[in-house]
């Protein structure tokens, strides 16, 4: 794991010590603390993210998403529990070491872009390396590379106000990646963008993640976004981790109505992979071979383009299943309404 926490609590205000009695249940401890006048923002959270993995954190406003992100980097000090970076506890790391760890290995993208208005694109992107006291030449080279990577080549000398919202967030992304962090944190990075640009930016994150393989924690309110960018989704409710799993698991097996409400509006064809609907084995003939983790929606598109039989492969490119065009309707109905498959 790049970053993980165990039994993480953040309790604000007076009477916080009341939660500390581990003989009691988590719920009792929350009630004790709140009776004593404290506010429990995070209660007993265990979670971690591996290299190359994107964990999405979701929950209603005030459920503790930003607090969790900040406690993991100790931008907010946890009240109790352990945080480990690459297996090493950082909960008691001295201030200077913590700062160095953050600068070198962690970075964050914010909802409001947080760019410096009087600096150019280049000036903004190279800032983290300037803080690390890298020499001007090498930081400029690294920043230009990042600017190109996020598709803003030729905009190096522009100022933030000369850019669209989407472009400004690309600058935020380039800046956050410039120091080559292992842990990439994105706190509702696209909420201020309109839906089309938002999708484009989600694709951008997917593209960058597939080549850079960071450990990513991505906070969002939007389940469609979570399903698109996340390998796993963690749902928080009033500081507690209610459920953590793939989008498909949360949609097909929500633990309670709170989780169900998050997934209710989602396009299930996009979330469900064809793997659960395909017939096992090899077809006699197929028009195309497609990975079995393709969404049912994308499979429908391929059928719509004229295919009659599709074969599906596992991650070793072996054919493991197939689907005939006439089975698609049944699969889509099962995805939407449940049923045999």
Binding-site ranges for ligand ATP (CB under 6 A): 12, 39, 41, 59, 61-67
Residue 318 φ/ψ, nearest 5 degrees: -90, 140
**Nearest distance from C-beta of residue 41 to ligand ATP, angstroms:** 4
**Nearest distance from C-beta of residue 321 to ligand ATP, angstroms:** 40
Kindly tell me which of 16 and 181 has the beta carbon lying closer to ligand ATP: 16
Kindly tell me which of 152 and 235 has the beta carbon lying closer to ligand ATP: 235
Q: Show contacts of 26-31: CB within 8 Å, 24+ apart.
A: 26/240, 30/239, 30/240
Kindly tell me which of 58 and 122 has the beta carbon lying closer to ligand ATP: 58
**Nearest distance from C-beta of residue 221 to ligand ATP, angstroms:** 6
**Nearest distance from C-beta of residue 45 to ligand ATP, angstroms:** 12
Closest CA to 2 of 65, 39, 53, 46: 53
Kindly tell me which of 159 and 258 has the beta carbon lying closer to ligand ATP: 258
Kindly tell me which of 62 and 329 has the beta carbon lying closer to ligand ATP: 62
Kindly tell me which of 113 and 303 has the beta carbon lying closer to ligand ATP: 113
Kindly tell me which of 108 and 311 has the beta carbon lying closer to ligand ATP: 108
**Nearest distance from C-beta of residue 311 to ligand ATP, angstroms:** 43
**Nearest distance from C-beta of residue 43 to ligand ATP, angstroms:** 11
**Nearest distance from C-beta of residue 39 to ligand ATP, angstroms:** 5
Q: How many CB atoms lie within 10 A of CB 154?
A: 9
């Amino acid at each position: 794991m790049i970053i993980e926490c165990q039994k993480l609590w953040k309790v604000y205000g007076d009477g916080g010590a009341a939660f500390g009695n581990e003989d009691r249940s988590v719920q009792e401890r929350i009630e004790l603390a709140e009776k004593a006048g404290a506010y429990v923002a995070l209660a007993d959270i265990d979670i971690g993210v591996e290299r190359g993995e994107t964990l999405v954190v979701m929950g209603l406003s005030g459920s503790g998403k930003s607090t969790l992100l900040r406690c993991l980097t100790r931008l907010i000090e946890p009240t109790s529990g352990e945080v480990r970076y690459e297996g090493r506890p950082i909960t008691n790391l001295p201030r200077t070491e913590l700062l160095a760890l953050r600068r070198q290995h962690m970075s964050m993208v914010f909802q409001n872009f947080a760019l410096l208005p009087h600096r150019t694109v280049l000036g903004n992107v190279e800032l983290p390396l300037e803080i690390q006291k890298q020499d001007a030449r090498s930081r400029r080279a690294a920043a230009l590379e990042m600017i190109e990577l996020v598709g803003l080549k030729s905009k190096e000398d522009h100022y933030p106000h000369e850019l669209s919202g989407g472009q400004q967030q690309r600058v935020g992304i380039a800046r956050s990646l410039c120091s080559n962090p292992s842990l990439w944190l994105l706190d509702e990075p696209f909420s201020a963008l309109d839906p089309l640009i938002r999708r484009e930016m989600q694709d951008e994150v997917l593209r960058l993640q597939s080549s850079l393989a960071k450990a990513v924690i991505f906070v969002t309110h939007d389940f469609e976004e979570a399903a698109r960018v996340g390998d796993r989704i963690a749902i928080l409710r009033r500081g507690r981790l209610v459920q953590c799993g793939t989008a498909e698991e949360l949609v097909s097996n929500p633990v309670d109505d709170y989780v169900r409400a998050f997934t209710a509006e989602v396009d299930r064809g996009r979330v469900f992979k064809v793997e659960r609907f395909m017939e096992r084995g090899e077809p006699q003939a197929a028009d195309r071979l497609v990975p079995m983790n393709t969404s049912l929606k994308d499979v429908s598109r391929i059928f719509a383009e004229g295919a009659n039989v599709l074969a599906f492969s596992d991650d070793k490119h072996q054919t493991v299943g197939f689907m005939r065009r006439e089975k698609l309707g049944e699969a889509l109905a099962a995805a939407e309404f449940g049923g045999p498959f």
